[in-house]
Structure 1
């Protein structure tokens, strides 16, 4: 097991991240009273699986405490009948990387963990947005909450395809079953988790209850794209936003909405205003006291969001979280 430290630049609360994941249907996450964030996911290399336990130190001065992560990298793939029979991940593959392996893979996992928690972004300037009363209210309501991203653009893209035109709860159940049947089972901080299948495993699955043949074909194509580096987070974030979105839209099953999801919540881009997310547009219009019809004026809304630079993705997430909470209370 490897231990690393992540030092937040600006406000950050791991407890807020855990609460967010507990309410985020795609994550299918169940927290514990110890406020340790437990994660299991395919590594960015597309072949290994990572099991991680994340903790944050408490501080007396109100500053964001250092984030401590212990993780294990598991190599190899679970064995199983990919036409529908469960795998037996516990006995598969060569297991954890030995201490003698090159540290480059550990550095890559550290970077991926930082991206998942948006700790790869300097958030020290985020409080300056408090000059905007809406942004100030959001920060006060959700102190220290940064976007908690999908583990990778690959997983975000898979979610987009699975969830197309079906209920979110149904999509989450299908994704969880895929992890349980074909992903690696790991033990982390006293709990058992199932990671989502790596791209090579996903590409070999031929039948998934609840998914059409077309969706399975699209999942295979996404697995191939991930292997080819087309879903590399660093590459996507290095491109101009319009170019990154255009590249993502060339993938089967990925439209404008899904492309924005992959870039923002998969690659962790901190400064994108989604132009194809009506719920966010409605939440923005409501927060700024605008007429309901303004939620369809994307140019006007984008102009307001320009005041959130360079954290447009972050404020957009907080608006969505507030809107979803208000929706639950109203129902």
Structure 2
């Protein structure tokens, strides 16, 4: 088992992240009273699985402090199936320092998932110039976007969930993890990671998935294996170019492309232009009237005040909308 530390720059609350995950349908997350975040997911290398337990310390003054994680990586030797012991005594390769599954690589991936790879020290300053943002920060202190484990997993969710209810999609995704992903133990709890790309390629049928969706998932797995869904690569590209590249994937439209870039790659500064529920929430929050939710140019102009954290403020608006009217993707 390898231990790493993540020091937040700016406000961050792991407890707020966990509360958000409990209401985020794709995560299918069940929290615990000990406030330890337990996760299992395919590593960015595409050929190993990570089991991790995350805690946040308190400072002497009782404020939220550094984030510490203990993790184990397991190579995908059996095509994504099998069981591993999250205590570090399994057959996996633990804490290597010379490859994509190394401690530094996993640390970087976990930081991205929790949005701790972004300097958030300037985020509170937005509140001074925008009362709506100030209210959102007061309602959700320390909450940053909690991302999918990777662009690959975000894209898989988009394909699985196309034209079905989110609860149905979550059940299908969970079944795929249980039947084709790796089972791990993380501090007394059994978790199932989503299948790695090679494991996903091996699936020929699955309850709830049409032939077309399986074909699209196979194309996605091949794209991930080719490096086309690398988070750093997507975030380094101009936003329009990254979105266009994502839309080239079978089954990925404008809404899904934004989801993958923002919530998969963890881009902190993108205003979603294809999310009607967010636009309705903005129109209500800024008292613009119902028809304003369709004026994307006007809304994008308001969102320009949120730079360089447009994705973050959009997440807080979604969280409020979910609380008031039910969960959103």
TM-score of the alignment, normalized to the shorter chain, above 0.5: yes
Contact 1:56/1:68 (<8 A) preserved:
yes
Q: Are 1:97 and 2:69 an aligned pair?
A: no
Contact 2:26/2:157 (<8 A) preserved:
yes
Using a 3 Å threshold, how does the CA distance of structure 1 residues 63 and 99 change in structure 2: closer, same or farther?
closer
Gap regions ≥5 residues in structure 1: 81-86
Farther-moved stretch of structure 1 (281-290 vs 103-112):
103-112
- Aligned counterpart, 1:9: 9
SS in 2 for 1:41: strand
Using a 3 Å threshold, how does the CA distance of structure 1 residues 328 and 205 change in structure 2: closer, same or farther?
closer
Gap regions ≥5 residues in structure 2: none
Contact 1:77/1:201 (<8 A) preserved:
no
Using a 3 Å threshold, how does the CA distance of structure 1 residues 99 and 199 change in structure 2: closer, same or farther?
closer
Q: Are 1:59 and 2:53 an aligned pair?
A: no
Shift of 1:77: 3.8
- Aligned counterpart, 1:70: 70
CA distance in 1, matches of 2:97, 2:45: 15
CA distance in 2, matches of 1:2, 1:248: 33
- Aligned counterpart, 1:248: 246
CA distance in 2, matches of 1:306, 1:315: 11
Shift of 1:272: 0.2
CA distance in 1, matches of 2:262, 2:93: 31
Contact 1:36/1:53 (<8 A) preserved:
yes
CA distance in 2, matches of 1:90, 1:124: 38
CA distance in 1, matches of 2:84, 2:67: 29
CA distance in 2, matches of 1:163, 1:241: 24
CA distance in 1, matches of 2:150, 2:8: 20
CA distance in 2, matches of 1:103, 1:169: 37
Q: Are 1:303 and 2:301 an aligned pair?
A: yes
* TM-score (normalizing by structure 1): 0.94
Contact 1:10/1:125 (<8 A) preserved:
yes
- Aligned counterpart, 1:110: 107
CA distance in 1, matches of 2:272, 2:196: 28
- Aligned counterpart, 1:281: 279
Shift of 1:38: 0.2
CA distance in 2, matches of 1:246, 1:79: 31
SS in 1 for 2:55: strand
Contact 1:74/1:95 (<8 A) preserved:
yes
- Aligned counterpart, 1:123: 120
Q: Are 1:148 and 2:142 an aligned pair?
A: no
CA distance in 2, matches of 1:90, 1:57: 28
Say how many residue pairs are matched: 321
